[in-house]
Chains A and B, each alone.
Chain A
Amino acid sequence: KKQHKKNKKDDRGPPEKEKEKEKASVLAPSKPATQSPAHKGTASKYVPLRSDYGYKVSLFSHLHQYSRKNPPTQQISIPATVIHPSIVRLGLQYSQGIIAGSNARSVALLHAFKQVIQDYSTPPNEELSRDLVNKLSPYISFLSQCRPLSASMGNAIKYIKKEISNIPSQCKEEEAKRRLQECIDSYINEKIILASEAISKYAIEKISDGDVILVYGCSSLVNHILCEAFEKQRKFRVIVVDSRPRLEGREALRRLVKKGIRCTYVLISALSYILPEVSKVFLGAHALLANGYVMSRVGTSQIALVAKAYNVPVLVCCETYKFCERVQTDSFESNELDDPDDLIVTRNGKTHLENWQTVKSLGLLNLVYDVTPPDFVDLVITDLGMIPCTSVPVVLRVKNVDQ
């Protein structure tokens, strides 16, 4: 069984046998397969690795591909002493897609950490500032097994670890916990809530009466901006572009229509048909990379490209806590692969891709993110103001100086 498990990634056996193997692994604790070296050390002793599912397209074979039908907790038993229950719950919420969206995930993470800090008690002969950081490592590796961490979550974790290690050793435990709770609250308030207020203020200046605004998918920030602009009596209408398999645009559509904003709904294949009507494009971002590239939901770079061809200004709205120091020029190097079974659709009672695993030459690719080069983006609106896409490193430098 162990041998079969090791070859599972590369070998595409018939699906029935695979399901049997996975059921069998519930009984036996799974051993870490040949995965990334980052899982060496103390974390891997506690957090077993989640196995990949299905055939991975060769260009993306360095990324993990998990199935929603196999939640991480089904394969392994996780004692509560190892991973805090609120983290387990959070991990499941991530892996099943219950909590989705960059801001929502970061806020949920921070709330879960607040709970962890609340329930934490310093063991004897240990210092809170060092021990708590060590306790957080297995949680973080568990969460990244459930769903790879986003850039915003990464920055939030860095901030928390820094705050924890800065707790002076004379500080009593209650006082330290209270301080950490306050830090987390102020982080959420400043970087997410107040930032979105500031961004709305700048963005509303750019919305004039009679505008036709195109949005893609469901970005909490862009929805907030449009609702605020509508409240400030700006006259505009919105075109919501959506794409399979997530169909997130429907959620955005629901929120905007509830406010009373006039909306049109198209799928991304109709983009070049609808663009001549559009006066501005507002996009959200998952992360802004150090070389000015915008990492966002897959399909965003397509929208930016076509908008550029039609000379329509593209505005990206992004809070500064999503800026990361990584540099990427293509969408292959670091991305996320979602469950390939999401691409299977039933029409007229027929499900054509049902047995896709049996066809040896077929692979299903469900990408989550893509990167947009800065030449396609006209303006980035952040809580620090409106900057061109190429000025992201300046903001990072200013932030590092502040810290």
Chain B
Amino acid sequence: LDEHLCLVEYFRAQIREDPDVASAVAAIRSLLEFLKRDQSETILGLRENMTKAIHRLEETDSSVAVSSGGELFLRFISLTSLEHPDLSQCKNVMIERGELFLKKISLSRGKVGKLCHTFIKDGAKILTHSSSRVVLKVLENAAADNKRFTVYVTESQPDSAGKHMAQKLGKLNIPVMVVLDAAVGYIMEKVDLVIVGAEGVVESGGVINKIGTYQMAVCSKAHNKPFYVVSESFKFVRLYPLNQQDVPDRFKYKADILKTVKDLNQEHPMIDYTPPSLITLLFTDLGVLTPSAVSDELIKLYL
């Protein structure tokens, strides 16, 4: 359908123009544009179109954040009393709320950064995994606070995202060292704390993140090092995986691979699930939460 193609184009353009923006934020901006251009006659039709648009975006970018962000957006805009007799008035109310939601979540990364950087003490050695913009913000804030610390980043194959992270940290004049994914156990005794980002935070309080995070969590538990996760609240998703197998395939593999490859057993998954028992604290724009409090927040967000 034409509108969907426009939507996907808009989404891709957003990511191209501003590579620093979270994919969920770009998705929500595109959905807002879609809402403004939508031509349906009824509110039910509007909601259906929005749901289809979200599915279309999920197919383009198979990250958990797009799925959760989209659902939260839809709930937020339709949570008001849409009792105006005129459809265009209702739409205006929805668009207003959509803009409000967008503004709130654009600020969330800053809030997380402000909360977390106080947990980094002077002289700390930090281990992080792959490339996360939220972790970068946290470390930026800590550096701006004149704290001295060293960062170890894992290489994070198969896309070597860790090297990009190291480059960005280098530009901030933070001493950084890239380690092999296999060297996490080796390096764990040297570090003081582990900070990782998240692609999605699930109902149990666990996180879904780049493959290798679970390993890092298990190692840090064995060495009794605190394992912190930083994430914005729009990444909270209504999934409840029991183990690695239970994570749906549409999140594990990239969208194009899902469409082309027949036997998924031959493919490497891009994400893994870290259970809440291995996580010390989660830093979100809703505050500093223990893993068991995540369900509390989710119930508040969704009920």
Contacts and interface: CB of A to CB of B under 8 A. Distances in A.
B303 A387 contact: no
Interface string B277-297: 100000000000000100110
Given A388-B204, A390-B292, A379 B299 contact: no
Given A379-B204, A386-B203, A391 B242 contact: no
Contact of A313 (B205, B242, B292, B303): B242
A391 B246 contact: no
Given A206-B242, A386-B240, A388-B276, A398 B299 contact: yes
Of A206, A378, A388, chain B has the most CB atoms within 10 Å of the CB of: A388
Given A386-B203, A388-B276, A379 B242 contact: yes
Contacts of A280: 242
A206 B299 contact: no
A395 B276 CA distance: 20
B303 A391 contact: no
A48 to B, nearest CB: 47
A374 to B, nearest CB: 9
A175 to B, nearest CB: 34
A189 B303 CA distance: 22
Interface in A348-403: 375, 378-379, 385-388, 390-391, 394-395, 398
A315 B243 CA distance: 12
B203 to A, nearest CB: 6
A398 B300 CA distance: 9
Nearest to A206: B242
A394 B242 contact: no
B295 A387 contact: yes
A394 B296 contact: yes
B243 A391 contact: no
Given A394-B296, A394-B299, A398-B303, A387 B203 contact: yes
Contacts of B295: 387-388, 390-391, 394
A206 B292 contact: no
A212 to B, nearest CB: 13
Contact of A388 (B243, B245, B292, B303): B292
A379 B292 CA distance: 12
Interface in B200-230: 203-205
A391 B238 CA distance: 15
A394 B277 CA distance: 20
Contacts of A395: 299
Contacts of B242: 206, 280, 313, 315, 378-379
Nearest to A395: B299
A388 B303 CA distance: 16
Q: Which residue, B240, B292, B299, B303, has most C-beta atoms of chain A within 10 A?
A: B240
A313 B243 contact: yes
B205 A388 contact: yes
A2 B296 CA distance: 56
A282 B245 CA distance: 18
Contacts of B240: 379, 386
Contacts of A387: 203, 295, 299
Contacts of B276: 388
Nearest to B302: A385
Contacts of B238: 385
A388 B299 contact: no
Contacts of B292: 388, 390-391
Contacts of B205: 388
Contacts of B243: 313
B96 to A, nearest CB: 28
A398 B295 CA distance: 13
23 contacts: A206-B242, A206-B246, A208-B245, A313-B243, A315-B242, A375-B277, A379-B240, A379-B242, A386-B203, A387-B203, A387-B295, A387-B299, A388-B203, A388-B204, A388-B205, A388-B276, A390-B295, A391-B292, A391-B296, A391-B299, A394-B295, A394-B296, A398-B303
Interface of B: 203-205, 238, 240, 242-243, 245-246, 276-277, 292, 295-296, 299, 303
> What are the 3 tightest A-B residue pairs by CB atom distance, in nearest-first order?
A390-B292, A313-B242, A391-B295
Given A378-B204, A391-B296, 8 more contacts: A206-B242, A208-B245, A375-B277, A387-B203, A387-B299, A388-B205, A388-B295, A398-B303
